[in-house]
Amino acid sequence: MKKKPEKQRFILRFLGTLLVFGMAMPYFTHISHGEVSDRPMIIWFHDIETGTEALRLALSSGIFSHVLLEGVSELDKPDYFVKPKFREALRVLHKYKNVKFIWCRWLYPGHKFDHFKLKDAFEVEYYTKTIRCLKQERKLLEADLIAFDAEPYVKCPLKTFPNRRISESQFNMMRNTIMAAVEAEGKVDFVLPAPFIFPGHLKHLYAATSEVGETVIAEHTYRDVPKMRNDKRRPYDVFGAYVSMSKEDLKNPKKPYFTPREILERQELWSHKRGLFIYPGNAENAISVALEFSKIKTIQRRK
């Protein structure tokens, strides 16, 4: 990777930080929220690009202990901090001092590839820089926790691997590379999706990328399909649920969603895990789901 573009990205982040701290200090004041006692870890996923209406409604419910703000890779968009939607989301979070802020980025770029090629996914330098950058952003944003979403999105070169399966030699190279970077820089707090571990010469990409995080959030549990969520080859820490107002998915009827009230009532699915991760889909669905959570307000605890 060339040094000059890296400096340019750093300057963009630095200028963005100056703008936010200089012009919008209240957005960051007291945003490190401390411990949430005597309640399960329940995480609300928020896409920065969708506005803040759903975020406001979800937080007003009092149900969520954490909010995960997800952005694209730093190579795709280094200047998030100057964006009005990002600053507004932080301002909303500021009002809820008992909710922890998880800052998440894509592990791999999906849009801009001037400084990322497929070979970079097998080089230690890429991961050390990416982990270091996210940890720097954690300090700048005063985020409580940080995460990587390791799913290859949009036009990411890693999407060329069918079903995210790679050869055994590629897997060993990637896993060893990530572990070397982690040894140098340390892990992040969360990573998703969960690994997929199976025998044979072909290995799964996520079995390597899961090494970058301490706590694994599952996506294969998103739908209410027992065979998928009970797959012993996919170990995880946090149960992920795709929540919608309707249980039925008209495009994929064999893979129903969870509804807001249902996922809170069916605690046997996630109470034995470290927590629950709510993925509400697109902006329209997220607003409806968040509104329903705001009506529920409290969780009936089960022993």
pLDDT of residue 302: 54
Structural domains of the chain ordered from first start: 41-296 (3.20.20.80)
Amino acid at 64: F
pLDDT of residue 199: 81
pLDDT of residue 201: 81
pLDDT of residue 295: 93
Alpha carbon distance 265, 267 (integer Å) = 6
Q: Which residues contact 129 (CB under 8 A, 6 or more apart)?
A: 1, 6
CA neighbours within 13 Å on the CB side: how many for 178?
Answer: 21
Whole-number average pLDDT of the chain: 87
Alpha carbon distance 106, 73 (integer Å) = 5
185 touches 128 (CB < 8 A): yes
Under-70 pLDDT residues of the chain: 1-39, 297-303
Alpha carbon distance 285, 178 (integer Å) = 35
Residue owning tokens 């629950």: 276
Please give the biggest Cα pair distance in the chain.
Answer: 57
